[in-house]
A = this chain, B = another copy of it.
């Protein structure tokens, strides 16, 4: 469509208009907004094109490094954004996009987010957030209550205390994990006698003062990569994150964990933290938290639980017990932007002990003065938006029983999907869902027979060859499905106990979107079978090359 070229001008009047006059409902942006308000899913369905464009092609639309010397009219720019950006973005709310942890959002979240942006509070200090500060403290109290279930008077004492903190809002789970380990590190290596503490004197002096040969973090081999990142940032080093083996259910082997603790103690290497996972990113399993708490207690080390994904399971009276023992953790990470259906950017870290933050406290002259209730004196980040309002509203509008329904539905949907994969001739379920995640792979009947033969004859080499081919198949299907763009599952590579701990490529599915129906699941499997047919042209060749046929 050729439109008459209009030129926007950078004049003081134009700028003043930009800051004072709202977009009219008839403008392009006004119309987009109405479309989103009336029917977000429809808008996304209409505007996100399932394009097969490779990333390198898309990049061609985003190559100019120059800052425009000529302003654009909002409407012209919005056409450009719809055309180049929105159309080529990812339909994270689609019921058939079950490969990642982002989902559809409740409708009230959108106008509420607009209110949040319009208010533009800065939670770093009371001066720029006022009522948002007690609101955030209350939400931290509620989340603390979800995990630790302390009595009301506990919260009355600590929730609004200036020098204390029940937790911290963060931009996401990574910052939450870093914050937890920062607190653990600074508490362990705190001031003593003439030593001023790691916070002031640094890690080198701290290890020297306390006479430790090193610090380590123990976590199962399924631990999230953010833990290694945390160890790097905090100066401990990635190699100090020791991966403990998991059992056949992807849960940490507590015997091995205890053994490792004994061994490290003998070597005078201090365990900074034991990290339990409540919902591994790849398989959704939950570590035996209660047993881990025992071990942490025995070796007197910080016990952190990364419940970024699984934490919301605590809303479910039916499934809450999967996380039993989490209430013994010194700190817990939960992402509200995952199973609490809040938009991206809402991580939370919680502390069992409200005075945990004493060793990371900081002050400045113009804000965060001592004794102030400024949230910024206990957070890793400085300026932060009022995301707590969205969590607050969701907790009230959805309520615990509503969240329980969402959680239960997700888990039961995953069980249903597992059962149809199990019954299907051409798929193999690799990890059963404990929460709403599962993994599986494509194994055509022909190869199933060959695999069975290997298992009977104990031919491990042959089995490995076959698994390699199956990995290629699964990867091929996953990539094609993503390219076609009607649906999306992700893939990962995990050790599978059933195959002697061999690492293999699998489909990974996350069933948190409440809009995903059983028929969506059937359709996804059917599409994968269809795509697998394309592999028939090269599968025999692969099998041949592997000298099987």
Contacts and interface: CB of A to CB of B under 8 A. Distances in A.
A282 interface: yes
A71 to B, nearest CB: 4
Contact of A85 (B174, B204, B389): B389
B23 A238 contact: no
Contacts of A345: 171, 345, 383-385
Interface stretch (A9-17, A246-254, A350-358, A424-432): A9-17
Interface size class of A (residues with CB under 8 A): 35 or more
A122 B100 contact: yes
A331 interface: no
A170 B368 CA distance: 22
B43 A118 contact: yes
Given A115-B86, A198-B237, A366-B492, A62 B138 contact: yes
A324 interface: no
Contacts of A70: 399, 401
A9 to B, nearest CB: 9
Given A19-B105, A23-B108, A229-B380, 13 more contacts: A33-B115, A36-B118, A61-B131, A64-B138, A72-B397, A80-B396, A81-B393, A174-B381, A200-B238, A202-B237, A233-B380, A344-B383, A344-B385
A400 B105 contact: no
A454 interface: no
Nearest to A338: B383
Given A55-B130, A86-B119, A490-B366, A108 B62 contact: no
A508 interface: yes
Interface in A96-112: 99-102, 104-112
A281 interface: yes
Nearest to A91: B119
Interface stretch (A151-159, A291-299, A440-448): A151-159
The 7 closest A-B pairs by CB, nearest first: A235-B235, A202-B237, A65-B155, A88-B131, A203-B235, A366-B492, A174-B382
A214 B204 contact: yes
A145 to B, nearest CB: 5
Nearest to A239: B200
A129 B90 contact: yes
A412 B273 CA distance: 54
A360 interface: yes
Contact of A228 (B107, B362, B383): B362
